[in-house]
Structure 1
Amino acid sequence: MPDKKIICLAVDDEPPALDVLKKYIASVQSLELANTCVDAVETINFLQQHPVDLMFLDIKMPELLGTDLVRTLKNPPKVIFTTAYRKYALEGFELDAVDYLLKPISFDRFLKAVNKVMQTSLHTNIPIITENAPKKEAGDSSIYFRSDRKMMKVHLEDILYIESLKDYIKVVTIAQTIITKQSISAMEENLPKEKFIRIHRSFIISLNKVESYTHDLIWIGKTELPVSRMYRHALEQVLKQYR
């Protein structure tokens, strides 16, 4: 067991986003969740009364942005910003944030951010222990997308493909289509590489949903998608394993 745990505070105005953070923090034995807050006032009041080592802080919140909240604190804890909006990344790093997590947050990316905290001088002797980490089992893995002012849970096994729409992505599943503000590159980073693959600058597909393919095209159900030259060789090598 570690000699000292990292005391965490999770701040987000969206309950599903807080649920994700609580699950991830509970899965890392070196972390201890002190509390969750839903706005800036609650956060400031808590920090005035309780010591915190690390704060997972949403940027886009009502009344006061997370970045502005940090500016109000004389001695802020270490901060990992969480947000669905990539445009806030630069401002977050200017405030000496440890990291910046783009929603929906994968557990692997969460661990990478936490590991940066472990590497600081205060916590170099605290290892990451993840014996109770969320399992990436086919029937259990899921991801949250922000759409229509709420966080929507989608099982990875239900995703057919993802299409880039400039600053947005369209997530096509077996039952529904979700449009959310996020880059396709950020989405690619958050998906398990053994299940999903990029086939074009505008498309990511679920490997087990492929019904047929040629040198230039791939079919997900009745939907025909293009395969670009850049991704063609990697795709063909992976698909050979699925024959």
Structure 2
Amino acid sequence: MKYNCIIVDDEPHAIKILESYIRSLDQLKIVGTCSNAFRAINILNNEKVDLIFLDINMPKLLGTQLLKTLQYPPKVIFTTAHKDYAIEAFELDAIDYLLKPISFERFLKAVNKFCHTTTVEVAPANQGPGFLYFRAERKMVKVFLEDIFYIESYKDYIIIHKETDVVKVKLSISAVEKMLPQNLFLRIHRSFLVAIHRVTAYTKYDVEIGKIELPIGRSFSSVIQKLTDNTSIIANLDSP
């Protein structure tokens, strides 16, 4: 699987070094490079990006500040000549923090860490019912999409609620949201994703899945219209 990445750095020489490193790896594909945070936002709005190599000390907007503006940020590896931002970087769930000049060995270690923490693999669409593989408890666990009731965010984990059991995975809810079909799953709250066909009732304040009530977040009020628009999908999935 290839992961799309971008490089954000105000030093052309640093960009060239990272470009050469990335192009030597089969698992990464560069979809953009830029010299400031504002151009990075434009790329992120137009491309599917899995990983950012992000400089911190840039003019007008620091790399850490850029990351804080993103509602659903990709994974990030910080690249900087300064040690001072390390604590803040890891508070932002950075995969790694690379100090310039960056050796290929150190770069490769960071990329391997990214690959290991990207724990979801999606089955190809032509291979039967949709499912995901999650790394849970040191093994890959298959979860069929149709079995999911809702997904809950808990600290650094997600909890996948099914009819008879749950699966706990070290992954952000934003990351798993990108993996799920938008016509079948809906983000209703910063902490909850629901399977649309499992919704049994809803108001403008909450969603019911059987006896479970889940709140609709204030910034997710548009989900009511999406639930209404998906009524036909719900009916089709529940039909024999």
TM-score normalised by L of structure 2: 0.50
Q: CA deviation at 1:170?
A: 0.5
Question: Tell me, which stretches of 5 or more residues in structure 2 are unaligned?
Answer: 4-20, 29-49, 51-74, 77-92, 232-240
Q: 1: distance between equivalents of 2:185 and 2:230?
A: 13
1:160 equivalent in alignment to 2:107:
no
Q: 2: distance between equivalents of 1:189 and 1:205?
A: 13
Where in structure 2 are the equivalents of 1:1-243 lying within 5 Å? 77-80=24-27, 89-90=95-96, 95=107, 102-106=118-122, 134-135=124-125, 140-233=129-222, 235-243=223-231
What does the per-residue CA deviation read over 1:154-177, in whole Å, with 9 as the maximum and x for residues that have no partner? 000110000010101110012310
RMSD of aligned residue pairs (Cα, Å): 3.6
Q: 2: distance between equivalents of 1:155 and 1:136?
A: 14
Counterpart position of 2:44: none
Q: 2: distance between equivalents of 1:193 and 1:232?
A: 16
Q: 2: distance between equivalents of 1:175 and 1:136?
A: 27
SS at match of 2:193: strand
SS at match of 2:221: helix
Q: CA deviation at 1:236?
A: 1.2
What does the per-residue CA deviation read over 1:27-48, in whole Å, with 9 as the maximum and x for residues that have no partner? xxxxxxxxxxxxxxxxxxxxxx
- Residue 151 to residue 91, structure 1, CA distance change in 2 (3 Å): farther
Q: 2: distance between equivalents of 1:136 and 1:228?
A: 35
* Letter of the structure 2 residue corresponding to residue 78 of structure 1: L
Q: CA deviation at 1:77?
A: 3.7
What does the per-residue CA deviation read over 1:76-120, in whole Å, with 9 as the maximum and x for residues that have no partner? 9414279xx98673359972759x55220336xxxxxxxxxxxxx
Q: Percent identity of the aligned residues?
A: 35
What does the per-residue CA deviation read over 1:110-161, in whole Å, with 9 as the maximum and x for residues that have no partner? xxxxxxxxxxxxxxxxxxxxxxxx2278x61000112222111000011000
What does the per-residue CA deviation read over 1:44-97, in whole Å, with 9 as the maximum and x for residues that have no partner? xxxxxxxxxx9xxxxxxxxxxxxxxxxxxx9x9414279xx9867335997275
SS at match of 1:225: strand
**How many residues in Structure 1 have an aligned counterpart in Structure 2?**
142
Q: 1: distance between equivalents of 2:228 and 2:197?
A: 12
- Residue 204 to residue 159, structure 1, CA distance change in 2 (3 Å): same
Question: Tell me, which stretches of 5 or more residues in structure 1 are unaligned?
Answer: 1-23, 26-53, 55-73, 108-133
Counterpart position of 1:123: none
SS at match of 1:95: helix
TM-score normalised by L of structure 1: 0.50
Structure number with the bigger relative contact order (C-alpha 8 A, sep ≥ 6) is 1
